Amino acid sequence: MSVQPLDTKTVTALVHDATAAPSMHNAQPWRFRFSRDSSTFHVRSDLGRAMPHSDPDTRALHLGCGAALFNLRVAAVHAGWEPATHLLPDPADPELLATVRLTEPARPDSALASLYPAIYRRHTSRYPFAETEIPASVQAALADAARREGAQLIFPGAWHVQLLLDLVHDAEGRDAVDPGRAEDLARWTRIGTDIADTATDGVPEYAFGPSKRDGKAPVRDFAGRRRVAGRSAAIFEKSPHLALLGTTNDRPEDWLRAGQAMERVLLLATLEGLATSLTSHALEWTDLRWVARDPQSAIGYVSMVLRLGYGPEGPETSRRPVRDVLDIE
Ligand SMILES: Cc1cc2nc3c(=O)[nH]c(=O)nc-3n(C[C@H](O)[C@H](O)[C@H](O)COP(=O)(O)O)c2cc1C
């Protein structure tokens, strides 16, 4: 793999790869600055895209930015660079989430580079999945992927899955009568084909998936009570395959690690032929989030509930143009 020069085209391509990452409600709460002198990316949060009601402590924002940071690392390795990454390098500047200095690699990280093709194949799928079991070897590889990023991934047993489903149900009930969360959702959903086809952020109606006629999969209904023309209904799986991702502590650096781990798990799952979706409903309520953990596991704090399975891929959703999120100096 030859090292490419860091011209504007290369820097832009790396940020394009980074921004294919998932973010809550596709808000894309990130900014990038590239300093040519030091060959360093500065990854910053964009608090104008935070969700004051659904994510008041900006944990979800950090998860999405962590996922973008992970894509940036994968893309850099794929392009032949070593991404020397430093989380939260300046305590006086908490919006500076990470620096990534590109250096010549001593030994390329082939495990990271191999994930590159999944960056543009991974999409959130809000469709029904087959009930087919996920092989133990695949589960072990996904858990290992999370561990490599300093997080834990567990596949909860039947009682715990039922508990998680109950918590999501509880959260859905609360969300339905919470004007603040409805406001966040309305700001970030795009209903109506014109707006859905042209918006460069938010969740477009074509990505909502069918409404749930039956089944237990915890899939957020982005339409809420709003009507979406031509939307079908479907029966979802009765026994969804859920995985819990979490960390021992609950500080911004843990959220960034969890975000990187989440993306590493999602990319590997994609390469393994799995469809993936995320469910943060229950975790957006502090009391429900606490109950979601398995007290016997090493996870102190749950960061994300993942739903994995064999089923249709989700559609690609838009991202803002790189020129809107990148400064080069
Ligand atoms: C922190 C976080 C929370 C999310 N929560 C949910 C959720 O509860 N339900 C859901 O369907 N998608 C959820 N998502 C997925 C986003 O909606 C999705 O990433 C975004 O719309 C972009 O689409 P894509 O993943 O297909 O690229 C979440 C993503 C992140 C990073």
Q: What is the pLDDT of residues 140-159, one digit of tens each?
A: 999 999 999 999 999 999 99
Please tell me the number of Cα atoms within 13 Å of 252 on its side-chain side: 18
Alpha carbon 324 to chain centroid, angstroms: 21
Residues 130-143 have a mean pLDDT of 98
Mode of pairing for the β-strands spanning 30-35 and 40-45: antiparallel
Cα 279 to averaged position of ligand 1 atoms, centre (Å): 7
Cα 220 to averaged position of ligand 1 atoms, centre (Å): 9
- pLDDT confidence bin for 227, thresholds 50/70/90: very high
Question: Does residue 25 have its Cβ closer than 6 Å to ligand 1?
Answer: yes
pLDDT for 225: 86
Range from 104-108, 164-168, 190-194 carrying the lowest mean pLDDT? 104-108
Question: Does residue 190 have its Cβ closer than 6 Å to ligand 1?
Answer: no
Residues 305-323 have a mean pLDDT of 98
CATH architecture of 136-309: 3-Layer(aba) Sandwich (3.40)
- Secondary structure class of 100 (helix, strand, coil): strand
Cα 22 to averaged position of ligand 1 atoms, centre (Å): 6
Residues 102-115 have a mean pLDDT of 91
CA distance 158 to 170: 18
Task: Please check whether the two domains, 8-120+320-328 and 136-309, share a CATH topology.
Answer: yes
pLDDT for 251: 98
- pLDDT confidence bin for 5, thresholds 50/70/90: low
Is residue 4 predicted with pLDDT exceeding 70? no
C-alpha R_g of the chain? 19
CATH architecture of 8-120+320-328: 3-Layer(aba) Sandwich (3.40)
**Residue located nearest, by CA, to atom 5 of ligand 1:** 280
The domains of the chain are located at: 8-120+320-328, 136-309
Q: Higher model confidence: residue 281 or residue 98?
A: 98
What residues does 102 pair with on adjacent strands?
A: 83
- pLDDT confidence bin for 298, thresholds 50/70/90: confident
| Residue 249 CB neighbours (<10 A) | 10
Is residue 1 predicted with pLDDT exceeding 80? no
Cα 65 to averaged position of ligand 1 atoms, centre (Å): 12
Cα 9 to averaged position of ligand 1 atoms, centre (Å): 29
Question: Does residue 319 have its Cβ closer than 6 Å to ligand 1?
Answer: no
**Residue located nearest, by CA, to atom 2 of ligand 1:** 24
Is residue 115 predicted with pLDDT exceeding 70? yes
Task: Provide the mean pLDDT of the chain.
Answer: 96
Question: Does residue 123 have its Cβ closer than 6 Å to ligand 1?
Answer: yes
pLDDT for 106: 77
Ligand 1 atom nearest to 59, measured from its CA: 1
- pLDDT confidence bin for 224, thresholds 50/70/90: confident
Cα 213 to averaged position of ligand 1 atoms, centre (Å): 22
Question: Does residue 220 have its Cβ closer than 6 Å to ligand 1?
Answer: yes
Mutate to test the pocket of ligand 1, among 23, 49, 59, 245 (most ligand atoms within 8 A of CB): 23
